[in-house]
């Protein structure tokens, strides 16, 4: 009966608009929730009657979808580990309770923003109980290759705020000028000494003592010096001895003409370096190339250490941690060194809206979302990671209120249809009295 189908259609309209109002209320309630993704409700007509014959109203059906790929605006914060994704991709996280239980690898969840701070164990955890996941770096700061189609290599990002760190010295460069007058036959033959500090494998300060002894000829000038290197960590033992001859021509006067190795690592003329072994291991020393004035020279009548540079640093305390745009987690120490300790990837899927939505603005990959892949931030289809930032809710309150007015009117209209059908049925019942 057509009039009965009208009643059913009105009831379906009430149910569909009630569903739409529920999604609107959810969106408005989360208008201040960081990282919230708006829920959208669509209506689909239901056709009951086939072509021809008596028409029967089918009504409507409501379907909801969370628009996970819709992003909210980014706002700045004062916390360096407040993170947001700018562009495509999502941050891998895990439940803090699951991490604390220690029952195997925690399940990877995805989110687009989070305010992470260290907990009692130094693990970066958000106020909603989400732990940031990343790939751990090696002691030298490099990140090895990890599988990209699984979360097996991901670990909770743990920051040891009481961590000490030092960098051993592996390379130094000597820019020294030796007095040309000291190689004359009439010179006194006094040696020139220089002490260069370096840091061993434990961050302890040691020194390489460099002694330059001129060769005094019977007449004229020899333009020759003997350079002896001694290591204080080895009780002053000689770790290298070299005979330096300098050019006195008009075009290349004062530059190295030749270097003869007496002991220690062989001088490499192509790079201008030699490798000597101190107590903690090898150190590469750059004294300059043959014919170049970029290292040790012999000019004028003064001994002058012009430029002494080296790498390495003493032991220092960690002062802060930051995440750069490519997902590298850097630890900063009060000695001025920076060390990479983790790398946070961005996870991308073919259909982000197909993921399963969970609480705390987290999502779980599903068969509908497609297979995920862990990208380096800023590569492939993914965007970059913004620190000192949070992503606001994707809800537009003005638009939601407008849709609420439309929903209210549609609900009232469907209620009016039911009221009208009721009156018509009453009239039908009144035909026989």
Question: How many domains, in total, are found in the chain?
Answer: 3
- Domain co-membership, 8 together with 62: yes
- Domain co-membership, 250 together with 295: yes
Predicted pLDDT of residue 254: 94
DSSP string, 132-194: EEEEEPPTTS------SS-STT-EE-B--TT-EEEE---EEEEEEEE-GGGGBTTS----EEE
Decide if 316 is inside a domain: no
399-417 pLDDT tens trace? 999 999 999 999 999 999 9
- Domain co-membership, 352 together with 404: no
- Domain co-membership, 148 together with 174: no
Predicted pLDDT of residue 420: 93
144-169 pLDDT tens trace? 999 999 999 999 999 986 666 778 99
Share of the chain above pLDDT 90, in %: 79
Distance between CA atoms of residues 342 and 94, nearest Å = 16
- Domain co-membership, 216 together with 286: yes
Predicted pLDDT of residue 163: 65
Query: Would you give the distance in Å from CA 97 to the centre of its chain?
Result: 24
Predicted pLDDT of residue 333: 86
Decide if 386 is inside a domain: yes
- Domain co-membership, 112 together with 210: no
Contact 246, 257 (CB under 8 A): yes
| Phi, psi at 78, each rounded to 5° | -110, 5
Q: List, for the chain, all residue ranges whose pLDDT scores fall below the cut of 70.
A: 1, 50-53, 161-164, 433
Decide if 324 is inside a domain: no
- Domain co-membership, 301 together with 269: yes
Distance between CA atoms of residues 389 and 159, nearest Å = 20
Q: Tell me which residue range forms the domain holding 356.
A: 80-162+340-391
* 249 SS3 class: coil
- Domain co-membership, 177 together with 50: no
Predicted pLDDT of residue 202: 85
């Amino acid at each position: 009966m057509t009039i009965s189908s009208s009643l059913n259609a009105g009831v379906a309209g009430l149910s569909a608009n009630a569903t739409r109002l529920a999604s609107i209320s959810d969106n408005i309630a989360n208008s201040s929730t960081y990282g919230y993704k708006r829920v959208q409700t669509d209506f689909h007509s239901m056709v009951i009657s086939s072509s021809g014959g008596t028409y029967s109203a089918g009504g409507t059906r409501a379907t909801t979808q969370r628009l996970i790929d819709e992003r909210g605006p980014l706002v700045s914060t004062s916390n360096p580990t407040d993170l947001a994704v700018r562009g495509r991709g999502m941050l891998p996280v895990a439940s803090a309770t699951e991490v604390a239980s220690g029952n195997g690898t925690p399940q990877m969840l995805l989110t687009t923003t989070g305010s992470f701070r260290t907990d009692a164990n130094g693990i970066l955890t958000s106020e909603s109980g989400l732990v940031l996941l990343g790939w751990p770096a090696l002691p030298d700061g490099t990140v090895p290759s990890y599988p990209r189609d699984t979360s097996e290599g991901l670990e909770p990002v743990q920051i040891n705020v009481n961590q000490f760190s030092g960098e051993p010295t592996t390379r130094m460069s000597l820019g020294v000028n030796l007095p040309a007058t000291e190689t004359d036959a009439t010179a006194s033959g006094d040696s020139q000494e220089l002490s260069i500090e370096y840091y061993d494998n434990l961050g302890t300060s040691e020194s390489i003592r460099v002694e330059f002894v001129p060769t005094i000829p019977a007449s004229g000038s020899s333009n020759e010096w003997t350079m002896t290197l001694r290591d204080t960590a080895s009780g002053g033992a000689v770790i290298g001895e070299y005979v330096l001859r300098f050019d006195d021509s008009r075009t290349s006067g004062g530059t190295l003409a030749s270097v003869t190795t007496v002991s220690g690592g062989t001088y490499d003329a192509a790079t201008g370096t030699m490798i000597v072994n101190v107590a903690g291991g090898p150190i590469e020393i750059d004294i300059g190339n043959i014919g170049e004035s970029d290292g040790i020279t012999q000019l004028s009548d003064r001994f002058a250490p012009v430029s002494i540079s080296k790498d390495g640093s003493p032991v220092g305390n960690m002062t802060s941690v930051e995440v750069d745009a490519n997902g590298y987690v850097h630890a900063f120490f009060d000695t001025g060194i920076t060390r990479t300790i983790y790398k946070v990837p961005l996870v991308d899927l073919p259909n982000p809206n197909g993921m399963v939505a969970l609480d705390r603005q987290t999502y779980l990959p599903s068969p509908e979302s497609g297979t995920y892949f862990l990208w380096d931030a800023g590569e492939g289809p993914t965007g970059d990671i913004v620190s000192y930032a949070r992503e606001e809710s994707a809800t537009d309150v003005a638009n939601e209120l407008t849709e609420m007015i439309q929903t209210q009117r549609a609900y009232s209209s469907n209620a009016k249809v039911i009221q009208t059908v009721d009156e018509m049925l009453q009239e039908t019942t009144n035909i026989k009295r």
